[in-house]
Amino acid sequence: MRRTALLASAALLTALIPLASARAADDPTPAPAPVDRFEGEVPFANQPAEGIFTWGGDSDDPPTLRLADRADAPEGAKVLSGTYDISGYGGFTHDFAADQPAHDWSAHKGIRFWWDGQDNGKKIAFEIKDGGANGEASELWTTSFTDDFTGWKQIEIPFTDFTYRTDYQPVGGIDHVLGLTGMWGYAVTLPVGVKGHFAMDDVELYGRADQSLRASVTTDAPVHPVKEGGTATVRVTVATTGSAPIDEPVSVRYETGGGSAEPGKDYTPVSGTLTFPAGTASGASRTIQVPTLKDRSAEPAETIPVKLTVTGAKAPAETPQVVIDAHGLPYLDRELPVRKRVADLLSRMSPQEKAGQMTQAERAALSDQGDIATYALGSLLSGGGSTPTPNTPEAWAKMIDGFQLQAQATRFQIPLIYGVDAVHGHNNLTGATIMPHNIGIGATRDPRLAGKTGAVTASEVRATGVPWDFAPCLCVTRDERWGRSYESFGEDPALVQSMETIIQGLQGRPDGRDLSRDDKVLATAKHFVGDGGTAYGSSTTGSYTIDQGVTTVTRQQLEAVHLAPYKTAVRRGIGSVMPSYSSLDIVGDGQGPVKMHARGDMINGVLKGRMGFDGFVISDWNAIDQLPGDYASHVRSAVDAGVDMMMVPYAYKDFRTTLVDEVKAGRISERRVDDAVSRILTQKFRLGLFEHPYADTTGAARIGSAAHRAVARQAAAESQVLLKNAHGVLPLKKNQKVYVAGSDADDLGNQTGGWTLTWQGSSGTHTRGTTILQGMRKAAPDATITYSKDASAPTNGYDVGVVVVGETPYAEGVGDVGNGHDLRLSTADQAAVDKVCGAMKCAVLIVSGRPQIIGDRLGEIDALVASWLPGTEGDGVADVLYGRRPFTGQLPVTWPRSENQLPINVGDASYDPQFPYGWGLTTLTKVPQGGAATLKALALAAAAAERTGSDRAGREIVTRARLLVQQKAGSEMTAAVAKPFADADHLLLTGRYAAAVAELTQAYRAAA
């Protein structure tokens, strides 16, 4: 899923400039304090020097800036002027010098500046930085103004308007208090999707700070559900910055009324005033009680707003509401079958409520949390890197409970279904157990282990209050230049199908009866269909070269390669399916390339019709925006094609309004909407969300536990593929002196890859885990292990070298080859390999999401290991290096000799790779003796196993034959050996054991 819109760089929003205050003795209001006059007194520079600098999501996003002479400048002779054309995010910052003290703005009411309006109707974010060590390590506080005017206008922003940023904080937050005594600057985020120019002048602090800046009134919750006849208690609290007592009285006038509940019939109206005298301690509370009345009728939920008028402090952001719970209606009866509950609820819903259920918003994009009830939203999600602060299980649960509480203010109190991309563990959560990416799981050839990794992921995800996972990816990767290759279990649909045991790990039994458990989640099969078959050069998305491109196939190829995994997923009871960004071009159907989100023949016809999928279809991130036509056409095309819920992270209001309008106009049928909403509600009932909408944190203690990490450790070990092992270099001996080098030996971020804490991932230590180097030192605590990342330390005197090299993290099309990436090791990694392997026996581990071209160095390397992206448990890699476990992994994709061979896959007519699909040497395993005679006997045994349906015996027989071939072939691979060897592995996975042994016999004869 694409997540660009969320990703603010660490430099995204920074800080301001010195403060010249000095309050006149006879004037309690301080004079305006200049921050930036744009006359040249502040240079264009980065920290630690004070300066103005730009930033953006990619190379095209940072705006251009200049100090321009303007006759109409509001102050002085110059203004800050610039142009921009932003596709992701971009803007500019004025940071104060990091080697100077921060500035004190606490004497002032707010900040103001002049803006040259272009009347484009766009919101412009303005941020300030508070506290911390410098502008890059402070808290971000944000607000915005709308450019809906022409010419110069002074924008005044009281500090009380700034709110704490929840989608990104460079240091994870400090104290969540806008103290104003340690300020580091300001930043402006320019609007996306509009090409334009701007001008700004005279940034200054203004006014006198009042108590409302330091004191605020809050309520214990924005929504207070209560059963009919009960009494709701609203707690009102006054608090101050720094927890000092209030120095002026604060009064809170309250009055009920204005909601859907009828005073005197549904509740007893109340009004009055709460008083907090001067000197009241920060944190003091008073309560308001609202009695509700009981009648005998079944009713939907009814609301009672408690209007608050605050004097002397900042008022709550939201008007608290008492909600009388819905009661007596059939859909609330948990004893009824789900289909009857769905039918009853659907019959009561308005078109607007149905449209809301089909709408999914990004949690950080909500204009106001009250929008959940206002727009009757059905779902929220966290995109990659969209996390609460602090990023802890408790904060996740609290955040999601807060969202679910807002949903209780809707008529039928339909709970949200919250989704995350937990694609290799709960990878958005700091401290979670991070599994190998799917490419490594495919290398294990261990379906039971795949199921266990899914179960661990589900347990950790559900324990934070999240019931829905956008995983697994069932793509069949056919070209390793694709930046999403590591999201696939492999290039063979039979391998992908065998790994779909992960669905049961996530969801439980296929009939959905386990979904309400506290350790299961709804799973998502993605990306339907053909995303792994996109042709290199066919993408039209930005600078991508292959991701989101066009898959051109015959119908036979489509069925055999790309649709096959979805048949298995539907049979396994998958709860949701996500279409691909890519286009499908079926040879001979006359349609040409059509975006998958508009292919009703595939979604309605094949998935829901022929396959019988009864879950719901969720769009990818903003995917409908890629469809042709205007926005209404986007909505019509996707809904009519069978997409049931739209992931419209920032456009949730526009989508819901447009959908309602299209239904009213008859351009989208009510029947289609009812089908979509029924599918969504069915899964919400199956998940038990109506009975238990809030987080069940019973399993939170298991997050990152030793038991969970043991599963990830096993997966990391089994995913290691031993490609070459001359002279028996591996396994290492614990008494050997080992020289370790390479960029990925001691880098947890490189080891975990993309989709780890953020969308793209990052190098370095950002979560809890063990690097490969740390694992080696734990595995051989008494051994001499020297680490030199760049191999600059002396190399003499060592028994063996271990060089751990590979890729740095990326995700999706950002990682496409040709988009700043290739399949070769970096210059530094190549140098490390050359130096170490030139000085001693060596093993090279390649940590990557796809094969790397290594043939030109293969002769100097004694042992070569495909380590893939093993996750947080480097101990698992050390386990096979030191022989605690045997190497058993097999290649899930073909390892090419050069990029020119791509795409290259098992079954190709011309097939001459460096290492074939299915290749993987073993250690600690005895290879059968007897050569051709043994293979002949194995062929007879395989045929017998196939006749009797003895799958376990059949697999063991083929494995023995494979070991014989690998021993004879060694690392001198030829096409005559590679093709039958790879074909045999495919035959094994499809249960044709006799044919597999026949292919292996052919490979054996061809081996030198």
**Catalytic annotation, residues:** 620, 812
292: which strand partners?
267
Is beta strand 800-806 parallel, antiparallel or unpaired with respect to 842-847? parallel
Q: Which helix (H) or strand (E) holds 52?
A: strand 51-56
973: region left, alpha or beta (phi > 0 left; psi from -120 to 50 alpha): beta
Q: Which helix (H) or strand (E) holds 398?
A: helix 393-407
> For residues 123 and 1002, what is the distance between their CA atoms, to the nearest angstrom?
68
Name the nearest CA neighbour of 385 among 364, 416, 361.
364
Name the nearest CA neighbour of 64 among 94, 37, 85.
85
279-306: burial string, b at 16+ Cβ within 10 Å, e else: ebebeeebebebebeeeeeebbbbbbbb
> For residues 780 and 736, what is the distance between their CA atoms, to the nearest angstrom?
9
The 8-class DSSP code of residue 530 comes to: T
> For residues 244 and 133, what is the distance between their CA atoms, to the nearest angstrom?
24
Nearest-10 Cα torsion for 118, 119, 120, 123: 100
Secondary structure (3-state) at 354: helix
Place of tokens 């929008």: 371
Place of tokens 């819903």: 349
727: region left, alpha or beta (phi > 0 left; psi from -120 to 50 alpha): left
Q: What angle do CA 40, 41, 46 make, to 5 degrees?
A: 90
223: which strand partners?
321
Place of tokens 């499908």: 584
913-937: burial string, b at 16+ Cβ within 10 Å, e else: bbbbbbbbbbbeeeeeeeeeeebeb
The 8-class DSSP code of residue 932 comes to: H
Q: Which two tokens stand for residue 233?
A: 């208690």
> For residues 523 and 451, what is the distance between their CA atoms, to the nearest angstrom?
13
Q: Are 248 and 211 in contact (CB under 8 A)?
A: yes
Q: Are 712 and 433 in contact (CB under 8 A)?
A: yes
Q: Which two tokens stand for residue 770?
A: 């063990």
496-524: burial string, b at 16+ Cβ within 10 Å, e else: bbbbbbbbbbbbbeeebebbbbbbbbbbb
Q: Where are the alpha helices (DSSP H) in 794-904?
A: 827-839, 874-881
Range list of β-strands (E), 615-720? 616-617, 646-647
Q: What is the largest CA-CA distance in the chain?
A: 107
